Amino acid sequence: MIIKNFKQGDLNEFLKLCKEFYDSCSTIKSFDEKRAKNTFLRVIENHENLWGYFIVDSKTDKKVGYGLVTSYWCNEDGGNVLVLDELYISPCSRHHGYGGRFMEWLEKEFKDKAVSLTLEVLTTNQNAKSLYNKEGLVPDGFVTYTKNI
């Protein structure tokens, strides 16, 4: 497996994978191409706390998924909290260890830049919950409340 940063010419591949993610059972919102393009542009403009990575099969050089990562400062945790905003592995590439290896890579990559890793997952997404538990993440007892502004 290879992890590659998003680059200028990758927009269409990102949009394809992102649409697959939003069309799956992993999110409650619908795919919005304009929103996805804006996210991609912020990543490649080197936004200070937004990173995008492709997960690439090292044998075929095929992009099999992606991760979007952001961070914020948390007084309670005493440092930067890394947020795995989106992690998507295409269905034909699941159960080959890509998700777990990506998360292990992420932890090593940001070890000196963050104090913890957090994410959100739909309560119905059992496959993702199993992966996160296996990688040592545990439910923290918080409930997320959201209001669009």
Phi-psi sector, 95: left (phi>0), alpha (psi -120 to 50), beta: left
Cα-only R_g, the chain: 15
Is 0.85 surpassed by the pTM of this model?
yes
Q: Is residue 143 predicted with pLDDT exceeding 90?
A: no
Q: Is residue 141 predicted with pLDDT exceeding 90?
A: no
Model pLDDT, residue 144: 86
Model pLDDT, residue 114: 97
**In contact, 89 and 64? CB cutoff 8 Å:** yes
Q: How far is CA 112 from CA 80, 85, 99, in A?
A: 10, 20, 22
Over residues 65-82, the pLDDT tens digits come to: 999 999 999 999 999 999
Q: What percent of the chain has pLDDT over 70?
A: 100
Question: Which residue segments constitute the domains of the chain, with CATH numbers given?
Answer: 2-134 (3.40.630.30)
